[in-house]
Amino acid sequence: MNILDKITAATKVRVEHEKKSPLPPPLALQRPKFSFEQSLCKPGISFICEIKKASPSKGIIAEDFPYLDIAEEYEQAGAAAISVLTEPQFFMGSDRYLSEIRGRVNVPLLRKDFIIDEFQIKQAVRLGADAILLICAVLTPAQLEEYIAIADQLGLSCLVEAHDEDELETALKVKARVIGVNNRNLKTFEVDTETSVRLRKLVPDDVIFVSESGINTADDVARLKSSGVNAVLIGEALMRATNKAASLKALRGDSF
């Protein structure tokens, strides 16, 4: 069983347990609908800055994890959106991180988790998310269509993630408005940013294209921007940085 299968299996167990408890109470303030994708439509290349403590491939990334301070620093540094890991077993994430961060920043929040049940979509809204991640390698085309429709009704954006041509074709068939190409193969964890460069050519200009994983330098960002990428999702490079604002400024280079 590869790591993606292990995470998916663990998520099924977790969700069945969580479904026995009531959903979190609704937010006191109504969030703007589809603010995540609107934020990524601004001129230049947008930055989705990620908050995560650990990953299966790297282990613990941030021993010191002041996630609220990090979120505020990202917002002040000009992040278009913030990605928050909520998967607890493999990424040491928490729903609490997302709900508490929502109370501290105004930028759109992406719930970064392994969505396998519509319960998680409704849960995401209650936690304060503006967008959810839907992974083509985990979901069938029918599930993708169903979950996008549910998210649309709730005003949530969907970042539909693909890794290769077949998954990209699926994302386009289900009419994803935001497609994320993961440069990391979730089955082998090999990373190659040329994956985004190659697949960007297959995506219409009216679809927001996000490059994810393996983006570490301003040269990486510039290369992706020149290939027509609309946004980059950066996690480890920022989480390991002592001064995250300075690191984000360096990654921007002349691209912002």
Per-residue model confidence as pLDDT tens digits over 193-202: 999 999 999 9
Q: Is residue 148 very low, low, confident or very high in pLDDT (cuts 50, 70, 90)?
A: very high
Integer Cα distance of 235 and 84 in angstroms? 10
* 3-state DSSP percent of the chain in helix, strand and coil, to 5: 40, 20, 45
* CATH of region 3-17+32-252: 3.20.20.70
For the chain, the structural domain boundaries read: 3-17+32-252
pLDDT digits (tens, 9 = 90+) for 176-193: 999 999 998 877 778 889
Q: Is residue 256 very low, low, confident or very high in pLDDT (cuts 50, 70, 90)?
A: very low
**pLDDT surpassing 60 at residue 101:** yes
Average pLDDT over residues 35-48: 94
Q: In this structure, are residues 127 and 111 in contact, taking their beta carbons and an 8 Å threshold?
A: yes
**pLDDT surpassing 90 at residue 51:** yes
Integer Cα distance of 3 and 1 in angstroms? 7
Average pLDDT over residues 94-123: 97
Average pLDDT over residues 38-47: 93
Integer Cα distance of 175 and 192 in angstroms? 26
Show which residues are catalytic: 50, 52, 112, 161, 182, 212-213
| pLDDT-above-70 percentage for the chain | 99
**pLDDT surpassing 70 at residue 254:** no
CA atoms within 13 A on the CB side of 52: 30
Residue with tokens 């809204």: 125
Average pLDDT over residues 14-30: 87
The mean pLDDT value of the chain amounts to: 93
Residues recorded for the chain: 256
Indicate whether this model's pTM tops 0.75.
yes
Average pLDDT over residues 102-122: 97
**pLDDT surpassing 60 at residue 158:** yes
Average pLDDT over residues 41-61: 91
Tell me, what's the pLDDT at 17? 94
Q: In this structure, are residues 200 and 183 in contact, taking their beta carbons and an 8 Å threshold?
A: no
**pLDDT surpassing 80 at residue 85:** yes
Query: Which of 8, 9, 112, 6 lies closest to 53 in space, CA to CA?
Result: 112
Average pLDDT over residues 220-226: 95
